[in-house]
Amino acid sequence: MIQINYATVLTGQKDMIQDEIEKTGKTNALKDIKNKIKTIGCNCATLNPSGKCCLKDVEHFIQSQKEQYHKQG
């Protein structure tokens, strides 16, 4: 399972998510983010360059990577 800093996922963790999808066809990134939000809270307002929650951006990125994976597979 990949441990990610969810607030900076689109600036610093894309490669990790992409590698996980390429190796397994899936990623636990979204699940990890949601668990962290429940346990330690969300820091997107201060850590995310956009200043907003990253969940939608992460979802879109994961979906695009999965589509790319299935096209190649």
Which pLDDT value is given to residue 62? 92
Residue carrying structure tokens 């397994």:
24
Arithmetic mean of pLDDT over the chain: 80
Angle at the Cα of 28 from the Cα atoms of 31 and 1, rounded to 5 degrees? 120
pTM attached to this predicted model: 0.73
Regions of the chain where pLDDT drops below 70: 1-12, 73
